[in-house]
Amino acid sequence: KQEVTQIPAALSVPEGENLVLNCSFTDSAIYNLQWFRQDPGKGLTSLLLIQSSQREQTSGRLNASLDKSSGRSTLYIAASQPGDSATYLCAVLTQGGSEKLVFGKGTKLTVNP
């Protein structure tokens, strides 16, 4: 059974800092891994999707890496801004049958001005 863990559960940083969010998963047989952003009371916004054959994806100030063999992914946010404050969710799509995403509980990020 796939399990996804995100560390830390919460993170508070001053504006301008570079930061790393961590995600680990127990079953390395995945199709892809996706990072989402969720604002309070809102839906999910997809940030980056990394296929199992890829090592990283970049979008603007965001960079996500994937090490499938060790079951780890990191989301790097450069030059953080107060507008980055949100909960960041990691999810994996596991091979072998069920096509559901398995989510971590998220990291709640606060960027202080």
Partner 1 sequence: NAGVMQNPRHLVRRRGQEARLRCSPMKGHSHVYWYRQLPEEGLKFMVYLQKENIIDESGMPKERFSAEFPKEGPSILRIQQVVRGDSAAYFCASSRQGGNTEAFFGQGTRLTVV
C-alpha 43 chain-centroid distance: 15
Please, which residue, 51 or 74, has the CB nearer to partner 1? 51
Q: Which is nearer to partner 1, 86 or 93 (CB)?
A: 93
3-state secondary structure 20-74: EEEEEECCCCEEEEEEEEECCCCCEEEEEEEECCCCEEEECCEEEEEECCCCEEE
Nearer Cβ to partner 1, position 89 or 109? Answer: 89
CA–CA dist 7, 28 (Å, integer) = 18
CB of 34 to partner 1, least distance (A): 8
The site for partner 1 (CB under 8 A) is made up of: 4, 31-32, 34, 36, 41-44, 46, 49, 51, 89, 91, 93, 98-106
Q: How far is the CB of 58 from partner 1 (least distance, A)?
A: 17
Strands ordered across the beta sheet of 19-25:
4-7, 19-25, 72-77, 62-67, 56-59
Shortest CB 101 distance to partner 1, Å:
7
**Residue placing its CB nearer to partner 1 in the complex, 85 or 104:** 104
At 13, phi and psi to the nearest 5?
A: -135, 155
CB of 111 to partner 1, least distance (A): 22
